[in-house]
Structure 1
Amino acid sequence: MEQLGIEASRPYLAQLYAPLCKLTEWWYTMRAGPNNMPLYYDGNESGWDNTTVFDAGPPVEGVDLATYLILQMETLSFMASLLAQPAESHAWNVRAEEQLQQLLYYAVVDDRFRSRSPDTNDNTSACSLQTYLPILLGKRLPQAILNALKTDLADGGPFLTAYGLASESLRSSKYEADSYWRGPIWAPPTYQIVDGLTAAGEIALARLIAQRYCDMIVQAPGFYENYDALTGKGLRCPGVCWTAAVFLLLATWLEQHPAS
């Protein structure tokens, strides 16, 4: 965009802005729960197909979904400012902040995020790594919450092994070594959590997770769909693009950010 110049890029930006506004509004028009928390109706919608978060049944107030929408509305605010629409820019920022406050009010238990059922107000599984994706909000989160998330994501916590972050807590009765989102290590949440820890200023832990993931890939070549969290063995189909992409991104980041 800097190469094109703001004026030259505005038509292209406008083409992106309008449908992204509609997509954002869809969640709040069609999928807003009683607390204005966005709802998933199925695990497949989240990308975490068989996660334990949905074991009690849908709908679920996805803490990861609310996180994505906060970041999306902040992006829309920035886009609107570039399109010389200050009123819309301000409105998106206000809505992003409102969603953040709703997330913190309705979805935090003991300084940790918990998705819940809007029908019963019961918390869903506390054992899925999916509920740690609000770390993407970085320093927008209160320090007490950041400290709790860091503790759980670090060595000695319920997720981190010698190879990376298990998708289900190793202490969970539902943990399975080869059961998609109920145990194995996956590329997308690994990258998201490393990115979130970096945004929160937790560089050392971000490096540790990234290094273990990259070392696992090198030791088990093939870029598998996911990996056994306790052995590092590649599972399911090899040659998966997101595994390769995350490896390249994290390996490059590690090279650019050597340990001090």
Structure 2
Amino acid sequence: MLFAFTKPPVHGWAVSLIEAMQPGFLTPERRAYLKEKIGRQVDYWLTHARAGEGTLPGYFHGNDSGWDNATFFAEGGPVVSPDLPTFLILACGTLADLLEDDAVRAAAWRAKADDLGKMLVEKLWTGETFRARLADDPGRLLPDRNFIQFMPLLLGDRLPREMARKLLARLGEGGFVTEWGPATESPDSPFYEDGGYWRGPIWAPTTLLLWDGLRRQGEMELARSVAEKFCSLASRNGMAENFDARSGRGLRDRAFAWTSAAYILLSASLSQEQS
């Protein structure tokens, strides 16, 4: 057990995805367990990872984000990035759904989601995309050729349509999606590295997040294309920890569980579409 780092609060998003794919997953027992655990998780980020109620929470270290050495951590931290408030907004929405028998607490979680959504736009939207910023120097923009900027697509219709349109255009024009899938740093970026861990290679979790974000924006054909690319990549090159975005070559650990899990989910989605 390691207490040096945490990981991003994706659990609200994940639970809602599981329930959507497998109705009935949220039994009364699971609801009781999850609303307590996810509620404590969100409270941690909103209490201990930000300066106050009028600010967004941030990551103290790259490992906290799961994007360990990504370019937006090149100057240290804490870093405020668009994925964290996105995950927390989704978690608040999941909590509101789990509290279907407690209208007052459900409304409180929805209000927190609304506040986070407003701050996400006010503090990280540039007019063209979402940018990560240093918590102690928010006027200074960090590198923007990384894939983190597209995570707010997961917000679905919570994200204003014009912002979604600009993000989708940037995704297509920025060279992020190679023949193998979405690169964590665009191959057109001066910081791109074929074997750069989070500075270029394709990862299963971010691919899955993009796939779901595209679906939530109604971009079903593009979501299908992303799923097909990743499944082809894994079928050809194994369940590696990550993959060279230009050659498709498997990198690092060659038998990784979350790669396998994403492959199973995405291949199942393609099979369902064909049936």
Regarding TM over 0.5, the answer is yes
Distance 2:136 2:73 in 1: 13
Matched, 1:79 2:79: no
Are the equivalent residues in 1 in contact too, given 2:42–2:88 (CA < 8 A)? yes
Distance 1:62 1:251 in 2: 30
Q: Which amino acid aligns with 2:202?
A: I
Q: Which amino acid aligns with 2:61?
A: D
Distance 2:75 2:211 in 1: 29
Matched, 1:247 2:268: no
Matched, 1:32 2:50: yes
2:133 aligns to what SS in structure 1?
coil
Listed as ranges, the gaps of 5+ residues in structure 2 are 1-18
Kindly provide the CA deviation profile for residues 156-208 of structure 1, in whole angstroms up to 9, marking residues without a partner as x.
Answer: 43201111111101121110000100010110000000001001100111111
Q: TM-score, normalised by structure 2?
A: 0.86
Are the equivalent residues in 1 in contact too, given 2:62–2:73 (CA < 8 A)? yes
Q: Which amino acid aligns with 1:239?
A: A
After the TM superposition, which residues 105-116 of structure 1 pair with which residues of structure 2 at under 5 Å, given as runs?
105-116=122-133
Are the equivalent residues in 2 in contact too, given 1:111–1:144 (CA < 8 A)? no
Match of 1:153 in 2: 171
Higher alpha-carbon Rg = 1
Matched, 1:236 2:236: no
Match of 1:99 in 2: 116
Listed as ranges, the gaps of 5+ residues in structure 1 are none
Structure 1 residue 258, shift from structure 2 partner = 4.2
Kindly provide the CA deviation profile for residues 100-148 of structure 1, in whole angstroms up to 9, marking residues without a partner as x.
Answer: 1110111101331111122111222211112221111122111121112
Return the match for 1:127 from 130, 145, 155.
145
Match of 2:188 in 1: 171
Are the equivalent residues in 2 in contact too, given 1:139–1:200 (CA < 8 A)? yes
Match of 1:223 in 2: 239
Structure 1 residue 257, shift from structure 2 partner = 2.1
Structure 1 residue 10, shift from structure 2 partner = 3.7
Q: Which amino acid aligns with 2:120?
A: L
1:109 aligns to what SS in structure 2?
coil
Are the equivalent residues in 2 in contact too, given 1:64–1:134 (CA < 8 A)? yes
Are the equivalent residues in 2 in contact too, given 1:17–1:76 (CA < 8 A)? yes
Displaced runs of 4+ in structure 1, greater than 4 A? 1-4
Return the match for 2:161 from 129, 143, 148.
143
Are the equivalent residues in 1 in contact too, given 2:174–2:188 (CA < 8 A)? no
Distance 2:230 2:271 in 1: 14
Are the equivalent residues in 1 in contact too, given 2:184–2:201 (CA < 8 A)? yes
Q: Which amino acid aligns with 1:254?
A: L
Match of 1:43 in 2: 62
Match of 1:212 in 2: 229
Match of 2:135 in 1: 118
Q: Which amino acid aligns with 1:163?
A: W
Structure 1 residue 234, shift from structure 2 partner = 0.9
Match of 1:89 in 2: 106
Match of 1:62 in 2: 81
Identity %: 35
Q: Which amino acid aligns with 1:57?
A: G
How many residues are matched? 252
Structure 1 residue 224, shift from structure 2 partner = 0.7
Are the equivalent residues in 2 in contact too, given 1:210–1:250 (CA < 8 A)? yes
Structure 1 residue 12, shift from structure 2 partner = 4.4
Are the equivalent residues in 1 in contact too, given 2:134–2:142 (CA < 8 A)? yes
RMSD, aligned α-carbons: 2.0
1:39 aligns to what SS in structure 2?
coil
1:26 aligns to what SS in structure 2?
helix
Match of 2:35 in 1: 17
Are the equivalent residues in 2 in contact too, given 1:167–1:183 (CA < 8 A)? yes
Kindly provide the CA deviation profile for residues 37-91 of structure 1, in whole angstroms up to 9, marking residues without a partner as x.
Answer: 011000000011001111122011121110010000111111111xx21100111
Are the equivalent residues in 1 in contact too, given 2:77–2:135 (CA < 8 A)? no
Are the equivalent residues in 2 in contact too, given 1:136–1:197 (CA < 8 A)? yes
